[in-house]
Structure 1
């Protein structure tokens, strides 16, 4: 995922032009690697533009970094974490606390011209007024935000590009879960028997009475998958009263 600041020059078109294939697929899209858990915050160039070849990262695990405007999305200030422990420590209790709430809405970004899902952008889920914002990046990074993105605001700064991104509440994978009560939330850790580039990647799973879906890392973008996860995923159920193992 290449995160672009608004009003990017034409030279950055190549970072979006690759949205053919899974980026342009409206039906599916993300999974990743990690070693020692660490946060990897964004660092913005003084010019206000992200590196067209991939956004800049500060590698210090002690730093917590956020960008005030990413992809022209109002309120999107991602803090990317790596590894099960980091994500569970920071977000496990809050994710578990969603249990018992209904999924009352969602928002993803689509291009107005053709309806294609722009899978680099965060997926926003609303549980009875509590908004969780999930975004995967690179091979091992996951950002989970809470109540910061304004999906009623237009996505700005894309006048230079031939397509127009906008928030959408339409998605055939998520629509069947609207109105259903959330029963469980789990972190899924990709642990194949033969280690691959996606080993230790995390996905976030939401379980309802009639089914489940998870949001995973499709190696540098998001993917939404419905149903049971691949057996190579190790499931870590999030429980507000349980101590991390």
Structure 2
């Protein structure tokens, strides 16, 4: 999947299922240090390839976060071989590569200890032409890390992965 050999993540839409499956592993990261963040870039133009998973190396493990659809997230552990060449669905024109600590401000959290972990949800509302809310639903959105006075989250940015260094008022945070 996504040009990564033997990568078959399970995608979640429900926070309870996600926490039941990944909660203990995520909690075990508390007290560990973020050693690096791996992201994918197109070699020729240096463009960040947000459709691919993002890998946090924490406590000697790889937490592999993926947003492939606008309503779901996946986390895998130690499944992606960073040495393996990426082949985006057989497209020979793309030259994708993993880069360590390459996105802006990553130095703010590298080498820092995780003090708390949160699962993030967002509210999605259907609104009619008059501005009335027709219905509202919670969507599983991402994972956040409290790191001393800093904060870092990786989240679903509507079918690709986004990053933030701030908590947002419009999101719901469930501490693990």
Give matches, 1:181-192, under 5 Å.
181-191=113-123
Residue in structure 2 matched with residue 151 of structure 1 by the alignment: 82
Partner deviation per Cα, 1:12-37 (whole Å, 9 max, x = no partner) = xxxxxxxxxxxxxxxxxxxxxxxxxx
Unaligned runs of 5+ in 2: 126-132
Contact residue 53 and residue 65 of structure 2 kept, 8 A: yes
Unaligned runs of 5+ in 1: 1-69, 239-245
Contact residue 145 and residue 153 of structure 2 kept, 8 A: yes
Whole-angstrom distance in 1 between the partners of 2:10 and 2:80: 13
Whole-angstrom distance in 1 between the partners of 2:9 and 2:139: 20
Contact residue 50 and residue 162 of structure 2 kept, 8 A: yes
Residue in structure 2 matched with residue 214 of structure 1 by the alignment: 153
**Post-superposition offset of 1:222:** 0.9
Q: State yes or no: 1:103 paired with 2:47.
A: no
Contact residue 83 and residue 202 of structure 1 kept, 8 A: no
Give the aligned CA root-mean-square deviation in angstroms: 2.2
Alpha-carbon spacing, 1:141–1:195, altered in 2? closer, same or farther (3 Å): farther
**Post-superposition offset of 1:211:** 0.6
Aligned counterpart in structure 2 of residue 139 of structure 1, from 70, 75, 79: 70
Question: What is the number of equivalent residue pairs in this alignment?
Answer: 168
Residue in structure 1 matched with residue 12 of structure 2 by the alignment: 81
Contact residue 205 and residue 212 of structure 1 kept, 8 A: yes
Contact residue 139 and residue 198 of structure 1 kept, 8 A: no
DSSP 3-state at the match of 1:179:
coil
DSSP 3-state at the match of 2:63:
strand
Residue in structure 1 matched with residue 171 of structure 2 by the alignment: 233
Q: TM-score, normalised by structure 2?
A: 0.86
DSSP 3-state at the match of 2:139:
coil
**Post-superposition offset of 1:130:** 1.3
Contact residue 122 and residue 171 of structure 2 kept, 8 A: yes
Whole-angstrom distance in 1 between the partners of 2:139 and 2:89: 34
Whole-angstrom distance in 2 between the partners of 1:213 and 1:203: 11
Q: State yes or no: 1:129 paired with 2:57.
A: no
**Post-superposition offset of 1:86:** 1.1
Aligned counterpart in structure 1 of residue 49 of structure 2, from 95, 103, 118: 118
Contact residue 131 and residue 147 of structure 1 kept, 8 A: yes
Partner deviation per Cα, 1:131-163 (whole Å, 9 max, x = no partner) = 100001212111110011111222136774433
Q: TM-score, normalised by structure 1?
A: 0.63
